[in-house]
Structure 1
């Protein structure tokens, strides 16, 4: 029985570790960003229809329209359409005050962004005026002035769909908005830019993306689940297209303020992921194997993200159970195996690398100061310091060990506050809380998988206005 437990957990743990290393190794290609100023000198050629999907968004609709009107692109080459979807507030009237096209839709049994977009695409295709491309935004977004220049440049390079850089317009409002922002900042580099650099397909992020109108008309939208962006990405890849990446086309997205709002939104994402995975994973894998298509394989791995999260959770629990039980449970654990091989320091260095990778990316993109990164780097040496402290104290008492951990962290937080001030202190503290935010994905994912067939839309309420001048 012991051999069975050891062998089965070894297969499971190693398989999970291999998947994790695949993502980690691929992410390293995002460390490099090629400077490309081609969009600035590229002549505007594409005509755009800019769609803003809105449901009861009277608080923010004016600001997104204003930012779109200020885009640095010939005004005669783009039009703005606000889709007031099943609204019972002043969204439509506020949008009309800005002299843009407002299309009101009232279909209560088919609510949601996917349905609203499908309805609007049909209207655009029937218009006398023709557009080369269609860009999609959420009502709480703000858009950088160079957005259409960057999209025009990428479309002229041959991409049929291009995703822009999703930034945060309220990163420091709460620990939840900070955690969201950290997640998006790191994903923009370590997921999106990394894939662009190695020639894989990027993923549509739900907002701030642009589609070639002819390709959209040919394939049809048909994406009406809770993650219509992921659904359409899969559809594109199955039809031989790749999603391009425009790192300098920035969309500022408003993040939820509270854990409850965040939980509901992320649960909706996981419901959509589970739904899309059930319908597209095997199709993508079939294409990957049959056509030796690594792009399809990479996408297939991405759509089963909810299940990968659960694998990582189980692997973590098994490792904790093995390490925290006297004598162990005969469970295979990577860190224990490294210890047995005398490679403790190698494993600790790997842990430090993982801890510092995201702050390093944030520093490169000027989201985090070099001084704070230096403090985080010294702080990360705790994996070595703790060993010597515990050995010096000659104790295995859990309370004492916990106290040592807390005291060590508090000392570094105080040092940060005294040297770098309140802002950097909060960023340090919230980066530590980001670990808790990450752990909440586990119950959220379980709920999402269980409720994958529930298509009810969860609307995030906005409580204030932020203009483009405040974030650029």
Structure 2
């Protein structure tokens, strides 16, 4: 019985790996050009901030200089349980400082939910709600593209995610490589195939009417994935805008990144438990591959969890022949499984090449396998602590402005 269970599990993981590899073939070409519209949509630009006095000023300056009519957007910084000068700096820059104090309900999801309720009370209402993190920088044309997408009928939009500090350390470089791969071979294929895209936590835009209709309600440790799944369940496809970028600051040290990734994985386990079977069943009943694909995506954390266990078994078998008698799919068709593994790794530098990554970032490919291996203990620990809903703050201190990024790129 155990032998059959192991074989079925391996077959499922092999199918999912092959499916994800197949999707990448639809990422080789860019999405079609979208219709252009004159600026007409109004936006509330929300910035989630907890003790971000070091970086919030640079983002506000960046947002105030966007290439969009200034009368069509307002900037609100959610100063969530701040004990530093975040609110003062925000007011000094002439934008709204929305101070929230609730130590019992901590985290970005709760802060957004509170902010939206405050926003609906205001005299001025907006067509779209845009969300950023305080450590971000934004392409000058960001609102132009969000305006185009809303006018084209999109209701939930994710912009291209890039890294603000890719060459600060091997950790930030590894995150940058992951972003290049995700933009080109995870998000772009789904756009080209008409599947649902997935929110990335920042650089998000929402139709106000939708948020008023269904509420926010995403208060898990991965509120972006949770809201994506809620939308897809309701038949609303989040879309992806390849043409405008948000630059996210990644933690410099391995310890800080491990803490952040642990929070993500704990949240991913929760979302998978809540949405995998309902979405899968809905997709089968409705004949909707959009929902089936979303269900598979929601379960990626379990794919990674069980995949790492099987990989470790393979390694032990290689070192200690005869250690385990269970049938491993690798024994039946090693060429197939090795091809999938090698192909996925080869796609990393290819995605960097296509996305025109800075030449300095390529050197981090050497340590990237170590970065990926580090997800294993994090995922294991997250599996056994997934009921821990305590939000943890990632400190941001790298103050970079858009003109500095342009110099680095050149």
* TM-score of the superposed pair, with normalisation by structure 2: 0.94
Q: Take 2:273 and 2:195, find their aligned partners in 1: how far apart are those partners?
A: 22
Whether the 8 Å CA contact 2:169–2:253 is kept in 1: the answer is yes
Q: Take 2:3 and 2:302, find their aligned partners in 1: how far apart are those partners?
A: 23
Deviation digits for residues 143-202 of structure 1 (CA, Å, limit 9, x no counterpart): 100101111111111110000011000001011001111111111111111111101100
Structure 1 stretch displaced more, 194-203 or 441-450? 441-450
Match of 2:87 in 1: 92
Deviation digits for residues 324-353 of structure 1 (CA, Å, limit 9, x no counterpart): 3446854444454346xxxx5x87665543
Q: Take 1:347 and 1:277, find their aligned partners in 2: how far apart are those partners?
A: 25
Select the residue among 14, 29, 33 that pairs with 2:30.
33
Alpha-carbon distance change, 152 to 318 in structure 1, aligned in 2, over 3 angstroms: same
Match of 2:73 in 1: 78
- Pairing 1:38-187 to 2, within 5 Å after superposition: 38-39=35-36, 42-187=37-182
Deviation digits for residues 108-164 of structure 1 (CA, Å, limit 9, x no counterpart): 111111111111101111111110000000000001001011111111111100000
1:304: Cα distance to partner?
A: 1.8
RMSD across aligned positions (CA):
1.9
Deviation digits for residues 61-111 of structure 1 (CA, Å, limit 9, x no counterpart): 001101111110111111100111111100011111111111111111111
Q: Take 1:455 and 1:242, find their aligned partners in 2: how far apart are those partners?
A: 27
Alpha-carbon distance change, 134 to 347 in structure 1, aligned in 2, over 3 angstroms: closer
Structure 1 stretch displaced more, 347-356 or 11-20? 347-356
1:247: Cα distance to partner?
A: 0.7
Q: Take 1:15 and 1:462, find their aligned partners in 2: how far apart are those partners?
A: 39
Q: Take 2:382 and 2:320, find their aligned partners in 1: how far apart are those partners?
A: 32
Alpha-carbon distance change, 350 to 102 in structure 1, aligned in 2, over 3 angstroms: closer
Whether the 8 Å CA contact 1:86–1:104 is kept in 2: the answer is yes
Q: Take 1:434 and 1:325, find their aligned partners in 2: how far apart are those partners?
A: 27
Deviation digits for residues 7-60 of structure 1 (CA, Å, limit 9, x no counterpart): 554333222111111111112211211452644xx2112110000010000000
Match of 2:387 in 1: 453
- Matched residue SS, 1:251: strand
Q: Take 2:136 and 2:48, find their aligned partners in 1: how far apart are those partners?
A: 10
Match of 1:307 in 2: 302
Q: 2:397 aligned with 1:463, yes or no?
A: yes
Deviation digits for residues 345-384 of structure 1 (CA, Å, limit 9, x no counterpart): x876655433321101110111155xxxxxxxxxxxxxxx
Which structure has the larger Rg over C-alpha atoms? 1
- Residues paired across the two proteins, number: 406
1:278: Cα distance to partner?
A: 2.0
Deviation digits for residues 430-451 of structure 1 (CA, Å, limit 9, x no counterpart): 2121111111111111222222
Q: 2:370 aligned with 1:367, yes or no?
A: no
Match of 1:439 in 2: 373
Q: Which has the higher contact order (CA 8 A, sep 6+)?
A: 2
Match of 2:348 in 1: 358
- Matched residue SS, 2:246: strand
Alpha-carbon distance change, 355 to 229 in structure 1, aligned in 2, over 3 angstroms: closer
Select the residue among 247, 264, 272 that pairs with 1:269.
264
Select the residue among 2, 7, 12 that pairs with 2:9.
12
Alpha-carbon distance change, 10 to 286 in structure 1, aligned in 2, over 3 angstroms: closer
Alpha-carbon distance change, 155 to 177 in structure 1, aligned in 2, over 3 angstroms: same
Match of 2:227 in 1: 232
Q: Take 2:143 and 2:162, find their aligned partners in 1: how far apart are those partners?
A: 16
Q: Take 1:266 and 1:25, find their aligned partners in 2: how far apart are those partners?
A: 27
Q: Is there any run of 5+ residues in structure 2 with no aligned partner, and where?
A: none
- Matched residue SS, 1:471: helix
Alpha-carbon distance change, 15 to 90 in structure 1, aligned in 2, over 3 angstroms: same
Match of 1:415 in 2: none
Whether the 8 Å CA contact 2:39–2:147 is kept in 1: the answer is yes
Q: Take 1:440 and 1:146, find their aligned partners in 2: how far apart are those partners?
A: 36
Alpha-carbon distance change, 323 to 331 in structure 1, aligned in 2, over 3 angstroms: farther
- Matched residue SS, 1:270: helix
- Matched residue SS, 1:62: helix
